A and B are shown apart, each in its own frame.
Chain A
Amino acid sequence: MPGPDLLSSQGLRLDGRRPNELRRIKCKLGVFTQPDGSAYLEQGNTKVLAAVYGPHQAAKSKSSTDGVVVNCQYSTATFSTGERKNRPRGDRKSQEMSMHLRQALTAAIKTELYPRSQIDIYVEVLQADGGAYCAGVNAATLALIDAGIPLRAYACACSASMAWRAGQPEPLLDVGHVEEAAGGVVLTVAALPNTGSIALLEMSHRLHMDYFDVVLSRAMQGCRDIEIILDRAVRDHLAEGWTKQDIVTI
């Protein structure tokens, strides 16, 4: 099955990455003051903002005695894509993404700690260049940590695709927009790498059963890599916070 030509003869991808390489991730916690927690994350050219409000009293209709209600909204800025979008949210795609976000993040949050409460998570995609959902999950995790909400583990999301090099299958990590548009398979995984569990798995296009494991393990590897990056960002942020506070007290 000859897939689209995503790898060069040297084994490099269209944007010059190696197959198992992530795009550069830059992130910052606490970009806003009004939300309880916020984070900004750049994954290559994909830029995402996330804000968290809560936990606060849940709306009557949603309230549940078992655990906290996680309310997610995924919206894309009208100028984020190459072609202008007419609506930032409310369309089918955004609604689906909101649902997926909720699924991934509910798995990470210790929901049983806050019965009859609600946590609002808003993700705003400022620039979409492939993998906006993954960046959204990663940013939301950081925002949740910034808000001080207890998590089971980091929720990390990563995508993977499949390419062929010299007749050998070669899974690609962290799919960019060009690779997405080329029409290959895209497997999106949201996982809690620390516990080894998968929170959400979604795949588009078709993939032979035999190769599924290879692609999945590549995506999981990506999630683990991302976790390390996020963890470092959180530690740096906290360290910075401590030093700043020290200066104030002196």
Chain B
Amino acid sequence: MAGLLLSETEKVFILHGVQDDYRSDGRSNIDYRPMELETDVVSHASGSARLRLANTDILVGVKTEIDVPKPDKPDSGRIEFFVDCSANATPEFEGRGGEQLASSISNLMQRAYHSSQAFNLKQLCIFEGKQCWKLYIDILILECGGNLCDAVSLAVKAALFNTRIPFVKAALMDGGNVDLQLSDDPYDSKLLDVGSAPLLVTLCKIGENCVVDPSAEEESCSVISLIVGVTGNRQYYTQEEETDKKTMEGKCTTIAMHGPGSVAPKTLKEAINQGIIAAKSLDEALGQALLRERQENIGFKKHSYGFLK
């Protein structure tokens, strides 16, 4: 990232730390850095979230529009990811400098959300074959401090959890047109079922070990990292006790490799398992935090911080 220069000895220091399971900031190889999350920060968006993971800062806004469904999937809505790397993060992103990174992240997110087991697009249907909701998920990267993918996926899930879609009554008129009626009451809206939305976990291979949540310094020591997208668990996102055990286990929705290096098949398998375990605990923590915030919101106890904290 921006002007990050590490000497050979500093790299060796980080490498040795990872070998001894004691990283330079005091974490073990499976620990995440502290996170701050706040939802509903942008009033012009249907749902929004801001996540700060140590130095990484992500702002996500979800906007909804009414669109025509794809001809091959008439009963599902559409979802589109757009990533904008703000020049605030590093001067390299000025103009079109961040486009490559942005497209690779949006591509990854699109793939992770592709499966209906990850995110059910049928809930965005208004009138089959005619009208559906289109979710624009706009991701703004304000600061890069390593581990962008994980932070983006967490923020996106939180923003989707926060998203409200107005109820719409649709009726078919003659001539094949659809008549839409929207309620005037802004609270007349539904929430999305996002419990199963995937989280991405980056596993950075440093030396012989894989670490989660690499900082920018650690990322520069590694030649290859593996990104695993794992579906979430609905159970963590509702207050009701669900006994459906079948959806308990996390499933891989996307796996990708990033970096100029390569890995042995054995490491690959281990890393995938490690990623699924990490994603599970991350998912649980996110669910708890989001539910707690929603609870506070209902009781008007929540204090909005935004960027002023």
Q: A contacts B directly in the complex (CB < 8 Å)?
A: yes
Q: Contact residues of A with B, CB < 8 Å?
A: 26, 28, 31-35, 38, 40, 42, 45, 47, 49-51, 53, 71, 73, 75, 77-82, 84, 88-90, 120, 122, 124, 126-128
Which secondary structure dominates chain B's binding surface?
loop
B61 CB contacts on chain A under 8 angstroms: 77-80
The answer to whether B88 touches A79 (Cβ under 8 A) is no
Q: In the complex, A75→B87 CA distance in Å?
A: 9
If A33-B143, A79-B61 touch, does A127 touch B42 (CB 8 Å cutoff)? yes
The answer to whether A120 touches B94 (Cβ under 8 A) is yes
A77 CB contacts on chain B under 8 angstroms: 42, 59, 61, 84, 138, 140
CB distance from A103 to the nearest CB of B (A): 19
The answer to whether A40 touches B308 (Cβ under 8 A) is yes
Q: How large is the interface on B (under 10, 10 to 19, 20 to 34, 35 or more residues)?
A: 35 or more
**What sequence of 0s and 1s flags, for each residue 39-69 of chain B, a beta carbon within 8 Å of any chain A beta carbon?**
0001111001000000101010111010000
**Of A47, A75, A77, which is in contact with the most chain B CB atoms at under 10 Å from its CB?**
A77
If A79-B63, A80-B44, A124-B140 touch, does A47 touch B306 (CB 8 Å cutoff)? yes
If A34-B145, A120-B87 touch, does A84 touch B65 (CB 8 Å cutoff)? yes
A51 CB contacts on chain B under 8 angstroms: 87-88
Q: In the complex, A42→B305 CA distance in Å?
A: 12
CB distance from B175 to the nearest CB of A (A): 28
Is the CB of B167 closer than 8 A to any CB of chain A?
Answer: no
The answer to whether A88 touches B65 (Cβ under 8 A) is no
Name the residue of chain B whose CB is nearest to the CB of A76. Answer: B84
Chain B stretch 64-88: residues in CB contact (< 8 A) with chain A? 65, 82, 84, 86-88
Name the residue of chain A whose CB is nearest to the CB of B94. Answer: A73
Is the CB of B252 closer than 8 A to any CB of chain A?
Answer: no
Is the CB of B187 closer than 8 A to any CB of chain A?
Answer: no
Is the CB of B2 closer than 8 A to any CB of chain A?
Answer: yes
A126 CB contacts on chain B under 8 angstroms: 42, 59, 140
Q: Contact residues of B with A, CB < 8 Å?
A: 1-2, 42-45, 48, 55, 57, 59, 61-63, 65, 82, 84, 86-91, 94-96, 136, 138, 140, 142-145, 306-308
7 extra A-B contacts, CB within 8 A, seeds A40-B307, A40-B308, A75-B87: A35-B88, A49-B86, A49-B88, A78-B61, A78-B140, A80-B44, A128-B44
The answer to whether B89 touches A34 (Cβ under 8 A) is yes
CB distance from B134 to the nearest CB of A (A): 10
Q: In the complex, A82→B140 CA distance in Å?
A: 17
The answer to whether A78 touches B136 (Cβ under 8 A) is yes
Q: In the complex, A161→B143 CA distance in Å?
A: 36
A–B complex contacts, Cβ < 8 Å, 9 sampled: A26-B308, A34-B55, A47-B307, A49-B88, A78-B138, A80-B61, A120-B91, A122-B87, A126-B42
If A49-B88, A122-B87, A122-B94 touch, does A32 touch B57 (CB 8 Å cutoff)? yes
A32 CB contacts on chain B under 8 angstroms: 57, 88, 142-143
